[in-house]
Amino acid sequence: MTSTASPLATLAKESGTTFILALFVDLTGKPCAKLVPVEAVEELAREGVGFAGYAAGAMGQEPKDPDIMAIPDPASFTPVPFVKEGLALVHCDPHVEGEPWRFAPRVILRRMIERAAERDLSVYLGAEIEYFLVAKDERGALVTADPSDSAARPCYDARGVTRMFDHLASVSTAMNQLGWGNYANDHEDGNGQFEQNFDYADVLTTADRVITARYLISMLAEQRGMTATFMPKPFGDRTGSGLHMHLSLWKDDEPLFPAADDPRGLPTWCACPTATASSCAAATAPPTRTWRLPARSARCSTASSVASTPARPAAATTPTARPCRSPSCTPWRPSRPIPPCRACSTASAPTWPATSPTSSARSSSPGTAR
């Protein structure tokens, strides 16, 4: 009697994979993995692979707790020969004692997807990944990897992009070979800062791709003697890096944004995200470096982009920002606890300024891409 190969084993064989990184992330976004030889792929598919959760990082475990078993999701299998020939990775759902681990980011996201499905809703996500390319000087201090990248206004500078052509092109090629649809690569506001974009997808696929993209960007940068950092504020005098997310809800294959009966384009049952954004920041962006903002953004600001979905052109409206000027909103003081911003978290919906036409940018994500 012959046994049937698992989907993971089949994918590994078809792609010529010899080793698989069984990967999950902790609550800080750190990618944790074990390198599994293809000879053990059936065991990986059947049982997963074990980790000491407390040692792995922020996973809500103590040293006495049982091991985390990372169970692979074959749908996320991704060959990465651009890093090492024969290498692939697969995203895993952490389990403890046979149950999905409630503190694992991928498990949390799956539960949110299930809650949306209970309302017959599908969630789609587009993401914009920003990062700095840095090196260390003779004193060990971080410096821009490109010494010539010193312009006062480097954003979209063609010369800065061209000097980093080899790195940007290698990441772009990898994304496109994986079928992600990379469509733009640009120099961002800070010296040494870049952004690389790819098409939106369902929220779980995009989340997996963000983790994979950060891994690829980091490893490909190292191949050229650089370090890619996604730290919010590696330099106190420059614009910080963000991860812009464009979310949309769909029902019966139709986008629910923008709603025709609301001036902001929001359905009546959808709470405005700006009302609680300041409070949410304590959980979504806790490092103090997130709030050292002497550069472009001096205070917290929130933005809503309900202008475009893949089913509509992007020229209808444009995202508008509402800066918070409340004296209680002082997240740039890392020496103090971050207080709730009363101006940001008022119960009433904010008043939005009039919108203006946008350029006809590609609708790469459910929100208007920058």
Would you call 252 helix, strand, or coil by DSSP? coil
- Token pair of 276, please? 């609680």
The one-letter amino acid code at 232 reads P
Tell me the whole-structure pTM to 2 decimals: 0.78
- pLDDT at position 25 is 96
Please say if the pLDDT value at position 357 is more than 60. no
- pLDDT one-digit tens code per residue, 190-210: 999 999 999 999 999 999 999
Per cent of the chain over pLDDT 70 is 71
- Rounded CA separation 129/346 (Å): 30
Model confidence at 345, pLDDT cuts 50, 70, 90, reads very low
Model confidence at 298, pLDDT cuts 50, 70, 90, reads very low
Would you call 309 helix, strand, or coil by DSSP? coil
CB–CB of 258/311 below 8 Å?
no
CB–CB of 8/77 below 8 Å?
yes
- pLDDT at position 268 is 57
Least confident residue range of 56-65, 88-97, 164-173, 277-286: 277-286
Average pLDDT, stretch 170-186?
A: 97
The position carrying tokens 């009546």 is 268
CA 21 from chain centre, in angstroms, equals: 19
Least confident residue range of 37-46, 283-292, 295-304: 295-304
With a CB cutoff of 8 Å and minimum separation 6, the contacts of 11 are 17, 74, 77, 88
- Residues facing 136 on adjacent strands: 142
Model confidence at 370, pLDDT cuts 50, 70, 90, reads very low
With a CB cutoff of 8 Å and minimum separation 6, the contacts of 31 are 23, 24, 25, 211, 214, 215
Please say if the pLDDT value at position 323 is more than 90. no
- pLDDT one-digit tens code per residue, 8-65: 999 999 999 999 999 999 998 899 999 999 999 999 999 999 999 999 999 999 999 9
- pLDDT at position 255 is 86
Model confidence at 289, pLDDT cuts 50, 70, 90, reads low
- pLDDT at position 296 is 46
Domains of the chain: 7-113 (3.10.20.70), 123-280 (3.30.590.10)
Query: For all residues of the chain together, what is the average pLDDT?
Result: 80
- Rounded CA separation 268/50 (Å): 45
CA 304 from chain centre, in angstroms, equals: 18
- pLDDT at position 290 is 61
Torsion of CA 107, 112, 116, 122, to 10 degrees: -70
Average pLDDT, stretch 161-189?
A: 97
- pLDDT one-digit tens code per residue, 100-149: 999 999 999 999 999 999 999 999 999 999 999 999 999 999 999 999 99
CB–CB of 18/84 below 8 Å?
no
